Every structure is written in structure tokens, then in C-alpha cells.
Amino acid sequence: MTEFLYAYGFDNWAFWQQYLMRGSLITLLLIASAVAVTRAGRSPYWALLMIVPYGAVVALWLFAFTAWPKEKPRVADAGKTA
């Protein structure tokens, strides 16, 4: 994240401004991921893995390959047999 801030000229900002920007970006990331995870039927605490290094990759793999709590059979497929 520091490379992003320095690439766009944020290195000239005061320390409190840099911390405010970083905190805002992390908060936005956590809120967006918590909303997405909650819509899928999981606990919003899964979003905390986004701030752990490589936690987002591990969370994505666990999230993708486990059973989904809100997954329901579609109405069109309910009457069909194989």
C-alpha cells in the first residue's frame, strides 16, 4: 500500500494525513468485504482476514470451496430428475 501512496504523491502529506488515508482505505475494504460475505450467508467477521497478509487469498479459497449456507435449489430444477 505504501508504494501506491508514494506513487501518487502522498509522501508530501503530514503523518496524520497519511494515517487518515490508510485508515479510510482499510475501513472501506473491511466494510465492502463484510457486506459481500454477509450476503453470501457467512459471518461478517470473515472480512477481518482481509487485513492479514495473505489472509485474503486463504479466505477466498476457503470461502469458495466450502458449502454455502444460503444456497437453495432453484425452482426450475426442483421438478427435474437426472
Q: Which residue has the higher pLDDT, 11 or 17?
A: 17
Dihedral, CA atoms, 53, 56, 57, 59, nearest 10 degrees?
Answer: 120
C-alpha cell at 43: 459471518
pLDDT of residue 10: 66
pLDDT of residue 30: 92
Interatomic CA distance for residues 61 and 35, integer angstroms: 18
What does pTM read for this prediction? 0.64
Q: Which residue has the higher pLDDT, 55 or 28?
A: 28
**Contact present, 59 and 31 (Cβ < 8 Å):** no
